[in-house]
């Protein structure tokens, strides 16, 4: 022990110490456990969002269908998008980042383990808060400017499932004034605005945490340009979050104030400007697109080299292209608003800026192809998903260029052509990338490999289903099918393709079901993965599968990019890889060297306070929605007291190692290898 | 047949490009990817042949839409070329470089990059994009705004119908916009409540209707014809039923239409069936929202105009569609649709500001007789 | 395997590649960079609406009491100075001085907040400019209100440090880091106020 212990004189609670059992999951600060919880929660929301999508597709499979009422339909598309973006893709990326960043940079945990737990719990409570709208939320007819209210017939009109209508129905984009106090009266959109606010807070906290982790916690020799591309892309995403979340926070605060406290930010009646909302929303919203895609790009950049048995082609170009995409991503927001009547000068400028994004995107795609070229491609499931990613993302990117041609976008915007484009980017892109990652790192997580046979069934079902669903949407959009449409008449000529699309959606669902079975089955009965099932390149594979709580018995010292590969392989004169050492042997030798430093490894103890502190937020936010009532005010007070108490408890928790991670405790000593 | 189909799928019938390269591409690859693609392409043919889509962007009927159409196809073919190149390379790699499970095969060269290649695939896309940007920017400026001497039609968006005012002619109408063909019209647009988005695919792209602000969109049709439109921005419960119709007519027909619309409505004589319908209109609350302009001298011109929120019904029957241009639908007679609409407006159009007035069947029939007399 | 690990134990400090900045401090810097965007969006919104003519009711720029706000701005500016003095005192090991300056900083912050409460009351009661008067007023209250909230949080943190120091007779090294973090935050809040005072108060004139 090099550090002098400093025990505070009073502690109200003893810090929890158990690292097993369900209780340990509630109090854990282990980045791996937090990552796993993120992953499962996100997948749960993926299923919910998927069911919502299926309901939409059933409604649209026929002209003038009467499956959902108009209110239920609007609620379903709003919740589908909100769920998939904020409750599925973002937290799944967060799951990967949590689990992998410390392992990939050779660290034993993140910089602020308790903050890490805090952002996870805030995320979870934010998701629950948002979905509690189905229980508590209300949606009432619009109230016109002259105070006359619209009418909804009993049962909500033609269609069923009208109970679903009592949830946010103003679109995930919440365009004002439709999502404002008059036209979305009722509390549902308050749940939406405040729910996103909570989720944004979770993202912001983890962004700070990851940036500090990556800048300060890298293993010796892990210089910035030796970091795996996934870590690089996570860095970029963290900065994107850091600068875009505050903007949406401001915009959501304005909406909440408009709805709850009578401000006039977006109310045209009082002079408010609805277009301001769009500027603020898309100033967040476009970086958000890259927040969704860059982690997947990082995953693909890890998977491709491993299964091509070649290093990533143009590593630094791929890294800088990622950063360039993010940087440019802040300057193109108005391309979501080409039809809004912004000046032609602005339209031209944003159109050109949008085109420039195609250049770094192209660099990435070509470099991935360069990685595959001349390799020895092993077509495992992760590789299939990664190649599928490149192919599908290319289509999405190319249709994106057609939007950058501004006049062309005037025809395409707000049609199913956009729906097709965004799903090619976010499903064919992000989701395929994330699935590649799930298959690739499953052995790391469990010590087993997922069934390849089922994996291939999974891939082909999803790939075929995906294209059956979204390729025809291009055509539907160009045939004039507008977005967010509950109905279309038979004479619009849209029915045949819509049937195809709906069939495709169910094929995707089948693919996801196969994945779930595969995951569940392989966890129990999968083949043992050994230490290095894929002949991997990066340093996270030098730990046992699954890794011990302290990650590395021996802190790695990194000498090269693709450190692990270079431990295993030499190069001959032609530059071909020549095996020099076995993975098992390398890891065994590492174990043999023993602890580094040869002292007990100090890990932060579990803590109650992240959970407690996070629990205060939804209470306060419920209180804001019902602030006019006495119990609403009471809820605000109770929530604030709970959070404040947790802050105090957090601050006075026992502290033993001040120099390593001030504010973070390292009290229990875990003997490595025991 | 298939070729014609494919060309219709990927281009217009009179497109200068033929679809042959696509077909060759189809034969060259036999992976499941290609099979799926082919199936979709072929399946689509049968669909397209039997379906006519009135909202399609591929049948531009005026100079603005035509210009956009040209731009779209230019980018489409460039994108297709890139797509074929990338997909082709991926498919080739999957064949050529696939691991055959041969343990003795040499490991690949550990190539870290190639500066020349990387510069190349940075510069070439940049040049292509620079090429695309030139016609894009010029089109943006040329297709925005209106000529100062074009005829103005004010478009006002409501939940969920479009109102059309002709300030020079003193006409206030709804759902069907009548314009003279071969002449530029300036749609000067705003919204009464939420954002709407006015879109007539055959004539031009979309433009928002913003409450408290004014936007402009120029419209021109080469020939007389009827064009479909739709509100493209999500605007609340019945967004999907907020549709639009533009009727382009010859200049003389337009003049006749103007004269007809400028005429006041005729007060029905007592004892006629029309008069009963008029009574329903005034007594059951319709007048609280709807205007009917009778002759100004008429002492019976009692229609209140305050709290206006529904379409002007003076020449209701001159319009082929009603209820936000969503009725009548295919296979539905005008009378039957009107009857269903009047019986329960919120059921037909959820959220509608037109309430269910619980009219009896007789009242509805009377009302229809009167409404249909308002030509 | 010398390229895997050192045979000799390495000390804890050499274990990481790092910026050399303490984690907590780096975290605070990163967080504050995000806060700049937060206030940037609020200020931009205010500028948009305050320059737009035609609203009903009073514009905030019509009723600013510049002399009064100048004084309260000066008070807040001085609190940055006392914050620096507190930090300086701690670095010299002068625990009593640290405590005094901490309290002075918190007190000045509280005075500023009092001024803001007075200003809001004036605007609402005398000039009848509320949240719902017009978008410019809404934007003014949201912006200055959020700034005030930041100041209030800062005052609470300062008082906590002051309380800890009083109870334990001084601040430890680790609590010294906390003082540095609070200081960073406090200076940030001051800088934002200087921007707000300049752009929102001094340069803002009612639209013609």
Cβ pair A243:C23 closer than 8 A: no
| pLDDT of res. B18 | 39
Helices first, then strands: H and E counts in chain B: 10, 10
Sequence-distant (6+) residues with CB within 8 A of A341 are A275, B207, B208, B210, B213, B215, B216
CA–CA separation, A123 vs A196, rounded Å? Answer: 10
| pLDDT of res. A257 | 96
> DSSP state, A268?
G
Question: Which of A273, A363, A472 comes nearest B122 by C-beta?
Answer: A363
pLDDT tens digit string along C30-84? 999 999 999 999 999 999 999 888 898 999 999 999 999 999 999 999 999 999 9
Mark which residues 56-95 of A lie under 8 Å from C by CB. Answer: none
Cβ pair C15:A219 closer than 8 A: yes
pLDDT tens digit string along B282-294? 888 888 888 888 8
Chain A partners within 8 Å of C135 (Cβ): 263-265, 270-273
Residue C117 has pLDDT above 60, yes or no: yes
Mutation target among A221, A264, A550, A591 for the C interface, most CBs of C within 10 A? A264
Residue B240 has pLDDT above 50, yes or no: yes
Residue C15 has pLDDT above 70, yes or no: no
| pLDDT of res. A19 | 63
Mutation target among A388, A407, A467, A472 for the B interface, most CBs of B within 10 A? A407
Residue A485 has pLDDT above 50, yes or no: yes
Residue A654 has pLDDT above 90, yes or no: no
Residue pair B6/B18 in contact (Cβ under 8 Å)? The answer is no
State percent of chain A over pLDDT 70.
92
Residue B354 has pLDDT above 70, yes or no: yes
Q: What mean pLDDT, rounded, does chain A reach?
A: 90
Q: What is the DSSP string of B97-147?
A: TB--S-TTSPPPB-----HHHHHHHHHHHHHHHHHHHHHHHHHHHHHSS--
Mark which residues 106-135 of B lie under 8 Å from A by CB. Answer: 106-114, 117-118, 121-122, 125-126, 129, 132-133
Q: pTM for the full model?
A: 0.92
Cβ pair C31:A208 closer than 8 A: yes
Lookup result for tokens 């020939």 = B223
Residue A658 has pLDDT above 60, yes or no: no
Chain B partners within 8 Å of A575 (Cβ): 109-111
Residue pair B88/A529 in contact (Cβ under 8 Å)? The answer is no
Q: What is the pLDDT confidence band of residue B3, given thresholds at 50, 70 and 90?
A: very low
Helices first, then strands: H and E counts in chain A: 21, 7
Where b means 16+ CB within 10 Å and e means fewer, B133-150 reads: bebbbebbeebbebeeeb
| pLDDT of res. A144 | 74
Question: Which of B139, B213, B239 comes nearest A485 by C-beta?
Answer: B239
| pLDDT of res. B136 | 94
**What is the rounded (10 degree) CA torsion for B90, A478, A420, A229?**
50
- Smallest CA–CA distance from A416 into chain B, residue: B232
Q: Which element (helix H / strand E) includes B156?
A: strand B151-158
Residue A457 has pLDDT above 90, yes or no: yes
Chain C partners within 8 Å of A212 (Cβ): 23, 26-27, 30
Lookup result for tokens 């549902």 = A188
pLDDT tens digit string along B330-347? 888 999 999 999 999 999
State percent of chain A over pLDDT 90.
78
Chain C partners within 8 Å of A271 (Cβ): 49, 52, 54-56, 134-135
Nearest to B82 by CA among A317, A470, A365, A410: A365
Residue A667 has pLDDT above 90, yes or no: no
**Distance in angstroms between the alpha carbons of the first and the last residue of chain A:** 19
**What is the rounded (10 degree) CA torsion for A232, A236, A237, A238?**
100
Beta bridge partners of A651: none
CA distance B259 to chain A (A): 32
CA distance B229 to chain A (A): 9
Cβ pair A271:C132 closer than 8 A: no
Q: Pairing mode, if any, of strands B225-231 and B185-191? A: unpaired
The mean per-residue pLDDT over the stretch A299-303 comes to 97
Cβ pair A263:C142 closer than 8 A: yes
Where b means 16+ CB within 10 Å and e means fewer, A174-209 reads: bbbbbbbbbbbbbbbbbbbbbbbbbbbbbbbbbbbb
Cβ pair A246:C15 closer than 8 A: no
Q: Does A111 touch chain C (CB under 8 A)?
A: yes
Q: What mean pLDDT, rounded, does chain C reach?
A: 90
CA distance B331 to chain A (A): 9
Pairs of residues, one from chain A and one from chain C, whose beta carbons lie less than 8 Å apart? 173
CA distance C6 to chain A (A): 8
Q: What is the pLDDT confidence band of residue A594, given thresholds at 50, 70 and 90?
A: low
Q: Does A158 touch chain B (CB under 8 A)?
A: yes
Q: What is the pLDDT confidence band of residue B37, given thresholds at 50, 70 and 90?
A: low
Residue A200 has pLDDT above 90, yes or no: yes
pLDDT tens digit string along B155-199? 999 999 999 999 999 999 999 999 999 999 999 999 999 999 999
pLDDT tens digit string along C174-185? 888 999 999 999
- Smallest CA–CA distance from B96 into chain A, residue: A374
Residue B9 has pLDDT above 90, yes or no: no
Q: Does A176 touch chain C (CB under 8 A)?
A: no
Cβ pair C138:A265 closer than 8 A: yes
Both tokens of C89, joined, read 């005192």
CA distance A163 to chain B (A): 15
Angle among Cα C35, C41, C42 to the nearest 5 degrees reads 90
Cβ pair B57:A156 closer than 8 A: no
Mark which residues 590-649 of A lie under 8 Å from C by CB. Answer: 590, 593, 596-599
Chain A partners within 8 Å of B235 (Cβ): 178
Residue pair A114/A650 in contact (Cβ under 8 Å)? The answer is yes
| pLDDT of res. A405 | 95
Cβ pair A242:C33 closer than 8 A: yes
The mean per-residue pLDDT over the stretch A466-471 comes to 96
- Smallest CA–CA distance from C15 into chain A, residue: A220
pLDDT tens digit string along A309-357? 999 999 999 999 999 999 999 999 999 999 998 899 999 999 999 999 9
| pLDDT of res. C109 | 97
| pLDDT of res. A555 | 84
Chain A partners within 8 Å of B160 (Cβ): none
Q: What is the DSSP string of C157-208?
A: HHHHHHHHHHHHTS--HHHHHHHHHHHHHHHHHHHHHHHIIIIIIIS-----
> DSSP state, A666?
-
Q: What is the pLDDT confidence band of residue B243, given thresholds at 50, 70 and 90?
A: very high
The mean per-residue pLDDT over the stretch A656-662 comes to 39
Q: What is the pLDDT confidence band of residue B14, given thresholds at 50, 70 and 90?
A: very low
The more confidently predicted of residues B298 and A530 is A530
Q: What is the pLDDT confidence band of residue A13, given thresholds at 50, 70 and 90?
A: low
Chain B partners within 8 Å of A401 (Cβ): 75, 79, 129, 132
Q: What is the pLDDT confidence band of residue A295, given thresholds at 50, 70 and 90?
A: very high
Q: Does A274 touch chain B (CB under 8 A)?
A: yes
**Partner chains of C (3+ C-beta pairs under 8 Å):** A
Residue B6 has pLDDT above 70, yes or no: no
Question: Which of A69, A142, A176 comes nearest B159 by C-beta?
Answer: A142
- Smallest CA–CA distance from B289 into chain A, residue: A148
Beta bridge partners of C46: none
Cβ pair A254:C26 closer than 8 A: no
| pLDDT of res. A673 | 26
Nearest to C112 by CA among C160, C61, C64, C147: C147
pLDDT tens digit string along B199-218? 999 999 999 999 999 999 99
Question: Which of B113, B195, B329 comes nearest A314 by C-beta?
Answer: B113
CA distance A475 to chain B (A): 8
Question: Which of A142, A148, A274 comes nearest B210 by C-beta?
Answer: A274
Q: What is the pLDDT confidence band of residue A18, given thresholds at 50, 70 and 90?
A: low
How many CB atoms sit inside 10 A of residue A373's CB? 20
Report phi then psi at B179, rounded to 5. Answer: -135, 155
Sequence-distant (6+) residues with CB within 8 A of B147 are B184, B186, B218
Angle in degrees, 0-180, between the axes of helices A344-372 and A381-404, rounded to the nearest 10 = 160
Q: What is the pLDDT confidence band of residue C3, given thresholds at 50, 70 and 90?
A: very low
Helix spans in B194-250 (H)? none
Mark which residues 340-359 of A lie under 8 Å from B by CB. Answer: 340-341, 344, 347-348, 351-352, 355-356, 358-359
Cβ pair A489:B330 closer than 8 A: yes
Q: Pairing mode, if any, of strands A569-571 and A527-528? A: unpaired
Cβ pair C174:A212 closer than 8 A: no
């Amino acid at each position: 022990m090099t550090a002098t212990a400093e025990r505070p004189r009073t502690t109200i609670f003893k810090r929890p110490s158990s690292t097993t059992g369900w209780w340990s999951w509630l109090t854990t600060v282990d980045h791996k456990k937090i990552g796993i919880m993120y992953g499962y929660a996100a997948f749960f929301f993926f299923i919910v969002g998927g069911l919502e999508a299926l309901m939409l597709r059933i409604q649209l499979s026929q002209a003038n269908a009467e499956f959902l009422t108009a209110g239920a339909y609007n609620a379903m598309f709003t919740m589908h998008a909100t769920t998939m973006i904020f409750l599925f893709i973002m937290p799944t990326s967060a799951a990967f980042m949590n689990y992998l960043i410390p392992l990939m940079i050779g660290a034993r945990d993140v910089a602020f383990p308790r903050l890490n737990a805090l952002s996870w719990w805030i995320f979870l409570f934010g998701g629950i808060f948002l979905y509690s709208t189905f229980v508590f939320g209300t949606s009432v007819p619009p109230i016109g400017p002259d105070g006359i209210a619209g009418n909804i017939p009993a049962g909500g009109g033609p269609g069923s499932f009208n109970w679903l209508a009592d949830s946010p129905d103003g679109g995930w984009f919440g365009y004002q004034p439709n999502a404002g106090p008059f036209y979305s009266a009722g509390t549902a959109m308050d749940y939406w605005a405040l729910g996103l606010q909570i989720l944004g807070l979770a993202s912001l906290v983890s962004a700070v945490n990851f940036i500090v982790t990556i800048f300060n916690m890298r293993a010796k020799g892990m210089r910035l340009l030796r970091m795996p591309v996934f870590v690089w892309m996570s860095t970029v995403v963290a900065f994107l979050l850091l600068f875009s979340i505050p903007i949406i926070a401001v915009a959501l605060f304005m909406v909440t104030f408009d709805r709850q406290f009578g401000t006039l930010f977006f109310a045209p009646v009082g002079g408010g400007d609805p277009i301001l909302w769009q500027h603020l929303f898309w100033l967040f919203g476009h970086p958000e697109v890259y927040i969704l895609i860059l982690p997947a790009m990082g995953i693909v950049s890890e998977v491709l080299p491993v299964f091509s048995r070649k290093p990533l082609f143009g590593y630094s170009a791929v890294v800088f292209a990622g950063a360039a995409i993010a940087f440019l991503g802040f300057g193109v927001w108005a391309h979501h608003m080409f039809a809004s009547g912004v000046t032609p000068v602005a339209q031209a400028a944003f159109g050109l800026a949008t085109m420039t994004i195609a250049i770094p995107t192209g660099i990435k795609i070509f470099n991935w192809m360069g990685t595959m070229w001349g390799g020895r491609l092993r077509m495992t499931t992760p590789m299939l998903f990664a190649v599928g990613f490149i192919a599908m993302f290319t289509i999405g990117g190319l249709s994106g260029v057609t939007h950058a041609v501004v006049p062309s976008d005037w025809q395409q915007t707000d049609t199913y052509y956009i729906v097709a484009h965004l799903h090619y980017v976010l499903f064919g892109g992000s989701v395929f990338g994330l699935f590649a990652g799930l298959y690739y790192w499953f052995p790391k997580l469990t010590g087993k490999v997922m069934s390849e046979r089922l994996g291939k069934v999974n891939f082909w079902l999803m790939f075929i289903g995906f294209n059956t669903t979204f390729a025809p949407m291009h055509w539907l959009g160009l045939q004039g099918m507008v977005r967010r449409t509950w109905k279309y008449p038979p004479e619009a000529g849209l029915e045949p393709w819509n049937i195809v699309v709906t069939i495709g959606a169910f094929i995707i669902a089948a693919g996801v079901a196969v994945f779930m079975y595969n995951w569940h089955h392989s966890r129990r009965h999968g083949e043992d993965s050994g230490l290095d099932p894929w002949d991997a390149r990066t340093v996270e594979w030098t730990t046992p599968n699954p890794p011990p709580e302290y990650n590395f018995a021996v802190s790695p010292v990194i000498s090269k990019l693709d450190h692990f590969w270079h431990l295993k392989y030499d190069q001959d004169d032609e530059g071909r890889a020549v095996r020099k050492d076995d993975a098992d042997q390398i890891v065994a030798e590492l174990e043999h060297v023993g602890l580094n430093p040869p002292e007990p490894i100090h890990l932060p103890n579990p803590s109650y306070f992240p959970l407690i502190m996070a629990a205060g937020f939804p209470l306060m936010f419920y209180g804001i929605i019902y602030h006019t009532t006495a119990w609403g005010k009471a809820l605000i007070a109770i929530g604030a007291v709970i959070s404040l108490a947790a802050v105090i408890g957090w601050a006075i928790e026992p502290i033993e190692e001040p120099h390593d991670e001030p504010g973070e405790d390292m009290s229990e000593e875990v003997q490595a290898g025991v | 047949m298939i070729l014609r189909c494919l060309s219709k799928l990927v281009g217009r019938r009179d497109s200068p490009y033929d679809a042959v390269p696509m077909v060759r591409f189809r034969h060259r690859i036999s992976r499941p990817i290609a099979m799926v693609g082919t199936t979709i392409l072929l399946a689509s043919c049968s669909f397209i042949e039997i379906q006519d889509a009135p909202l399609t962007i591929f049948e531009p009927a005026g100079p603005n839409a035509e210009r956009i159409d040209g731009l779209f196809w230019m980018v489409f073919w460039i994108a297709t070329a890139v797509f074929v190149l990338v997909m082709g390379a991926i498919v080739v790699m999957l064949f050529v470089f696939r691991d055959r499970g041969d343990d003795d095969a040499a490991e690949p060269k550990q190539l870290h990059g190639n500066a020349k290649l990387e510069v190349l695939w940075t510069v070439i896309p940049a040049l292509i994009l620079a090429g695309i940007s030139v016609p894009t920017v010029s089109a943006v400026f040329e297709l925005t705004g209106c000529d100062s001497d074009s005829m103005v039609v004010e478009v006002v968006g409501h939940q969920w119908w479009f109102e059309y005012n002709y300030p020079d002619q003193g006409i206030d109408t709804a759902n069907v916009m009548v314009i003279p063909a071969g002449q530029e019209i300036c749609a000067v647009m705003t919204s009464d409540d939420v954002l709407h988005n006015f879109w007539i695919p055959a004539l031009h792209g979309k433009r928002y209707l913003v409450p408290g602000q004014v936007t402009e969109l120029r419209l021109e049709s080469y020939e007389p014809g009827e064009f479909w439109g739709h509100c493209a921005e999500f605007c609340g419960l019945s967004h999907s039923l907020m549709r639009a119709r533009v009727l382009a007519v010859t200049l003389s027909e337009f003049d006749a239409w103007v004269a007809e619309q400028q005429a006041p409505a005729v007060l029905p004589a007592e004892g006629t069936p029309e008069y009963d319908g008029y009574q329903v209109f005034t007594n059951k609350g319709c007048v609280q929202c709807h205007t009917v302009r009778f002759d100004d001298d008429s002492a019976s011109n009692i229609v209140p105009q305050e709290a206006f929120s529904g379409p002007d019904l003076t020449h209701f029957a001159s319009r082929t569609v009603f209820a936000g241009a969503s009725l009548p639908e295919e296979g539905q007679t005008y009378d039957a649709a009107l009857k269903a609409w009047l019986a329960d407006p919120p059921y037909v159009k959820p959220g509608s500001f037109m309430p269910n007035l619980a009219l009896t069947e007789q009242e509805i029939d009377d009302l229809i007789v009167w409404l249909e007399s308002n030509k | 395997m010398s390229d895997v690990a050192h045979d000799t134990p390495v000390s804890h400090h050499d274990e990481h590649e790092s910026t050399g900045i303490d984690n907590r401090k780096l975290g605070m810097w990163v967080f504050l960079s995000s806060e700049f965007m937060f206030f940037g969006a609020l200020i931009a919104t205010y500028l948009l609406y305050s320059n737009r003519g035609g609203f009903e009711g009073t514009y905030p720029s019509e009723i600013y009491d510049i002399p009064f706000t100048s004084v309260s701005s000066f008070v807040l500016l001085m609190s940055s100075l006392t914050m620096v003095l507190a930090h300086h005192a701690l670095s010299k090991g002068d625990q009593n001085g640290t405590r005094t300056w901490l309290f002075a900083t918190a007190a000045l912050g509280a005075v500023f907040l009092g001024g803001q409460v007075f200003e809001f009351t004036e605007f609402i009661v005398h000039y009848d400019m509320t949240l719902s008067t017009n978008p410019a007023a809404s934007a003014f209250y949201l912006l200055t209100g959020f700034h005030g909230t930041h100041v209030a949080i800062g005052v609470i943190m300062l008082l906590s440090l002051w309380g800890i120091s009083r109870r334990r007779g001084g601040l430890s090294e680790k609590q010294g880091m906390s003082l540095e973090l609070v200081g960073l935050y406090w200076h940030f809040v001051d800088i934002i106020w200087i921007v707000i005072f300049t752009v929102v108060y001094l340069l803002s004139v009612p639209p013609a």
